[in-house]
Amino acid sequence: MVLNTIDIKEESQSEIEILIESAWCIVLHNDAFNTFDWVIVNLIRYCGHTNLQAEQCAWFVHNKGKYTVKFGTYEDLEPICSVLCEKGLLAELSQQ
């Protein structure tokens, strides 16, 4: 099979578009109000983390001030980020 440059260019372009679409993340910030347990419960419930993942994220947020807790597309992450904020967590959507 011989590929011409147009086929390669179109395939590369679609790969780039997929990477750009999924180049979003939710960044969780440390605060003085939420307990570790509350952060962990919400990461499990809304981000789909395991208990261990949620605990590790909570510790990273606590020690570093912020931490990326989930990656994906804007469309997938926006409702998750919104509900985390509604639950009192300091979360933001960021493009990588």
Give the CATH number for residue 54: 3.30.1390.10
**Residue 13: inside a domain:** no
CA nearest to 32, candidates 81, 90, 74, 73? 90
Residues of the chain with pLDDT under 70: 1-21
Enclosing domain of residue 68: 22-95
Q: Model's pTM, two decimal places? A: 0.78
Q: Identify whether 10 is part of a domain.
A: no
> Which tokens hold the place of 53?
């993942």
Tokens coding 81: 């980020």
pLDDT in tens, 56-74: 999 999 999 999 999 999 9
Query: Rounded to an integer, what distance in angstroms lies between the CA atom of residue 61 and that of residue 59?
Result: 5
DSSP reduced 3-state for 35: coil
Q: Is residue 9 part of a domain?
A: no
**15 part of a folded domain:** no
Please tell me the total count of domains within the chain. Answer: 1
pLDDT at 96: 87
